[in-house]
Amino acid sequence: MFSKSCEYGLRAVIFIAEQSTLQTKVGLKTIASAINSPEAFTAKILQILTRNNIVTSIKGPYGGFMIEEYRLKEITLSEIVQILDGDKIYTGCGLGLKQCDDKSPCPLHFKFIEIRNNLKKMLEENTLHDILFTDTEKNVFWLKT
Amino acid sequence: MFSKSCEYGLRAVIFIAEQSTLQTKVGLKTIASAINSPEAFTAKILQILTRNNIVTSIKGPYGGFMIEEYRLKEITLSEIVQILDGDKIYTGCGLGLKQCDDKSPCPLHFKFIEIRNNLKKMLEENTLHDILFTDTEKNVFWLKT
DNA sequence: CTAATAAAGGATAAAAAGATCCTTTTATAT
DNA sequence: ATATAAAAGGATCTTTTTATCCTTTATTAG
Ligand code: FES
Ligand code: FES
């Protein structure tokens, strides 16, 4: 569904968000080890997310990554996916045709866009805050993998 | 959503199916040009689909690819996707974690599997026959891209 | 039987995605 | 000021995906 970059990115952001609610800034090593991702590659992804104002980075000793409290209710999963994977997933044809619209639908079009739009809706409707506080178990259990 | 192989594969199969309902066998060149895909690459994909009994191939002069009439109501989109892209799309975690089940859900799990299951359901419910004869316009208009 | 045609399959190449390494910049504590 | 810690960024490498080329195998018409 998502690229590896996007998967790591989402995991990293959720982890940083989690720690930010605890007023804790986290460094690259901590993040990579927590979400089980390659360190240098994760660094690249965090650079992109920093440039796009999803996370805030602080250089130097005692530096690290964090997300401002007020941003947690603004940032949606959709934005993160959009930044890392582009919007092919939101607008692209299921069969890979260049055009995808109701005027020139491929044989899968109407069935496919229903799924695609549900995905889009789900990602747009969920902010980081939602993800953190709708987690049924309310823990960091998922980090174990 | 799907890999390029899978996109070409689905397009090829739908095209062959369409032609098969007209009792027409089609060759590689015709297929690749109709669905706008690279010829040699399409050949590889058709080999896989032949090995997996989705399409029937006939070698030699007057040869080509076809799908038996009775198979049109048996073959689902799901099978084709499964053959070409595996089942990561049906069972994989949205965040790329190794395990995905209700017992150790990631923060996206319950929202994600809903989408994933809808996609799976849609692909499983639609046979080639369905795709060909539910096409609102009932033409090959979509081939133009 | 032979020539021609078309798919199968092996080998290779190109492009993209995933991943690593090393140097530079910025900030902090002492 | 200096040493140190951490992110930023450039260069490079690896793996996977996408794509091409060429040889082999099977089939058919004449
Ligand atoms: S045209 Fe193919 S999904 Fe819209
Ligand atoms: S565990 Fe992540 S989607 Fe199921």
For residue A112, give the DSSP letter: H
Phi and psi angles of residue A26, each rounded to the nearest 5 degrees, phi first: -125, 140
Count of structural domains within chain A: 1
CATH of the domain at A24: 1.10.10.10
- Nearest protein CA to atom 1 of ligand 2, as residue: B100
**Average pLDDT of the residues in A27-46:** 97
Residue B79 has pLDDT above 90, yes or no: yes
A58 CB less than 7 Å from any atom of strand D:
yes
Judging contacts by C-beta atoms under 8 Å, the chain A residues touching residue B7 are 94-96
Question: Could you tell me if residue A142 is inside a domain?
Answer: no
* Residue A92 in domain: yes
Chain A residues within an 8 Å CB radius of B142: 95, 97, 104-107, 109
Q: What angle do CA A134, A117, A127 make, to 5 degrees?
A: 30
Our CA-based measurement puts residue A132 at a distance from the nearest CA of chain B, in whole angstroms, of 7
Q: Report, as an integer, the average pLDDT of A65-80.
A: 97
> Does the pLDDT of residue A17 top 80, yes or no?
yes
CA of residue A93 to C1' of nucleotide D12, angstroms: 35
| β-pair type (B56-58, B64-66) | antiparallel
Minimum-distance ligand 1 atom for the alpha carbon of B142: 1
Q: How far is the CA of B61 from the C1' of D28 (A)?
A: 6
Report if residue B65 sits inside a domain. yes
Sorting pLDDT into bands at 50, 70 and 90, what band is B137?
A: low
Asked if the C-beta of B106 comes within 8 angstroms of chain A's C-beta atoms, the answer is: yes
pLDDT, residue A145, reads 44
Q: Do B1 and A145 touch (CB under 8 A)?
A: no
Ligand 2 pocket check for B119: Cβ under 6 Å: no
Indicate whether B9 belongs to any domain: yes
Q: Does residue B35 sit within a domain? A: yes
Instruction: State phi, psi for A20 to the nearest 5 degrees.
Output: -65, -35
Backbone angles phi, psi at B106, to 5 degrees: -80, 170
Q: What percent of chain B has pLDDT over 70?
A: 92
Domain contains B72: yes
Its pTM stands at 0.94
Residue B64 sits at φ, ψ, to 5 deg, of: 150, -160
Nearest-Cα residue of chain A relative to residue B18: A107
% residues pLDDT > 70 (chain A): 92
Ligand lying nearest the CA atom of residue B131: 1
* CA angle A9–A24–A29, rounded 5-degree value: 50
The per-residue pLDDT of chain A, averaged, comes to 93
Looking at the domain assignment, is residue A143 inside a domain?
no
Residue range B41-49: mean pLDDT, rounded = 98
What spatial distance separates the first Cα and last Cα of chain B, rounded to whole Å? 19
**Closest nucleotide over all strands to A41 (CA to C1'):** C19
Q: Residue B135's pLDDT is what? A: 57
CA B109 to ligand 2: nearest atom: 3
Contact residues for B122 (Cβ-Cβ < 8 A; gap 6+): A111, A112, A114, A115, B77
8 A C-beta contact, residue A96 and residue A39: no
Residue B143 Cα to ligand 1 midpoint, Å, equals 11
Domain with A79 in it: 4-135
Query: Is pLDDT of B145 > 60?
Result: no
User: What pLDDT, on the 0 to 100 scale, is given for residue B54?
Assistant: 98
List of chain B residues whose C-beta atoms are within 8 Å of the C-beta of residue A91: none
Is residue B49 situated within a structural domain?
A: yes
Helix boundaries (H) for chain B: 4-21, 28-35, 39-51, 77-85, 88-91, 109-125, 128-133
Q: Per-residue confidence at B74, pLDDT binned at 50, 70, 90?
A: very high
Residue-wise pLDDT for B85-108, tens only, equals 999 999 999 999 999 999 989 999
CB-contacted nucleotides of strand D (7 Å): 4-11, 17-22, 25-29
Tell whether A89 lies on the interface with B, counting CB pairs under 8 A: yes
Q: Is the pLDDT of residue B141 over 80?
A: no
